[in-house]
């Protein structure tokens, strides 16, 4: 009896503890393992590799077939009158060529409404979906919502661009290197956007632009009855 109450050595306590622990796991582990085995844990989907390619296909610097001294003029035929814009292909050759090709139906683009590829003239029948008196009028979205485009993006040609007067035609974007088909025309100086948007040219017939900007508008400066851009006619000018 005296031996039974003798304090156990450290080694004896360790041996007993290992025996009890092993017995517990031998009895309990099957009960825990069965429910866990029945739970399906989905694997984490692989993340796509980062896109390090240049933003958008762009266009090679094009030959627009102009003789020395010739320029292209884009005539914006709207439901409120015509606006003539002299295009500056020397300053923004890729963006101007893109604008001209979309206007003429010479470049393939993806219609954001039905997802189909097409070569029809993109600007025909589109809307001026945003108008801000004293600032700009904006159009060129084939979806008419203000969020659409041609299904590709262009690299900016905006370095050094200055918006210091009304009548500057430029490529709209949602950030660097995201321009496509949407454009705007300034209605006054807008120096806070200098260097951020690719200029396409300079427009006259500012009275027509003012009429477009003066239509009644609702939320987010969207006209309640948006003026229509019926077509963009490209002409040569000596």
> Is pLDDT at 2 greater than 70 in this prediction?
no
> Is pLDDT at 41 greater than 90 in this prediction?
no
Tell which wins on pLDDT, 33 or 25. Answer: 25
Per-residue pLDDT tens digits for 71-118: 999 999 999 999 999 999 999 999 999 999 999 999 999 999 999 999
Mind giving me the DSSP string for 127-147?
A: E--EEETTTEEEE-BTTSSSS
In angstroms, the CA 235 to CA 238 distance is 10
Q: Which two tokens stand for residue 164?
A: 């210091």
> Is pLDDT at 148 greater than 70 in this prediction?
yes
Q: Is the pTM higher than 0.85?
A: no
Count other Cβ atoms within 10 Å, centred on residue 53.
Answer: 7
In angstroms, the CA 155 to CA 54 distance is 8
Q: Answer whether 205's CB lies under 8 Å from 84's CB.
A: yes
In angstroms, the CA 110 to CA 172 distance is 18
SS3 (DSSP) at 221:
helix
pLDDT the model gives residue 17: 55
In angstroms, the CA 51 to CA 60 distance is 21
SS3 (DSSP) at 75:
strand
Per-residue pLDDT tens digits for 154-177: 999 999 999 999 999 999 999 999
pLDDT the model gives residue 69: 87
SS3 (DSSP) at 197:
coil
In angstroms, the CA 159 to CA 21 distance is 73
**Sign of the dihedral defined by the CA atoms of residues 141, 147, 149, 153, in that order:** positive
Average pLDDT (125-136) is 98
In angstroms, the CA 207 to CA 210 distance is 5
Per-residue pLDDT tens digits for 62-79: 778 888 889 999 999 999
Tell which wins on pLDDT, 134 or 58. Answer: 134
Average pLDDT (194-208) is 97
């Amino acid at each position: 009896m005296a031996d039974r109450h003798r304090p156990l050595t450290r080694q004896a306590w360790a041996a007993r503890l290992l025996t009890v622990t092993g017995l517990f796991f031998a009895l309990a582990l099957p009960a825990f393992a069965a429910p866990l085995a029945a739970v399906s844990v989905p694997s984490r989907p692989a993340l796509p590799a980062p896109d390090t390619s240049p933003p958008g296909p762009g266009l090679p610097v094009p030959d627009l077939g102009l003789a020395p001294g010739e320029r292209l003029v884009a005539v914006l035929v709207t439901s409120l009158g015509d606006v003539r814009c002299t295009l500056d292909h020397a300053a923004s050759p890729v963006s101007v060529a893109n604008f001209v090709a979309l206007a003429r139906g010479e470049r393939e683009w993806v219609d954001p409404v039905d997802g189909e590829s097409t070569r029809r003239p993109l600007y025909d029948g589109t809307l001026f979906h945003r108008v801000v008196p004293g600032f700009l009028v904006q159009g060129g979205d084939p979806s008419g919502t203000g969020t659409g485009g041609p299904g590709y993006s262009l690299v900016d040609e905006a370095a050094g661009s200055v918006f210091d007067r009304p009548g500057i035609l430029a490529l709209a974007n949602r950030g660097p290197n995201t321009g496509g088909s949407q454009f705007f025309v300034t209605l006054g100086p807008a120096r806070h956007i200098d260097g951020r948007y690719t200029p396409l040219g300079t427009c006259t017939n500012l009275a027509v632009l003012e009429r477009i900007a003066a239509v009644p508008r609702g939320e987010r400066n969207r006209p309640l009855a948006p003026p229509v851009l019926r077509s963009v006619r490209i002409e040569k000018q000596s």
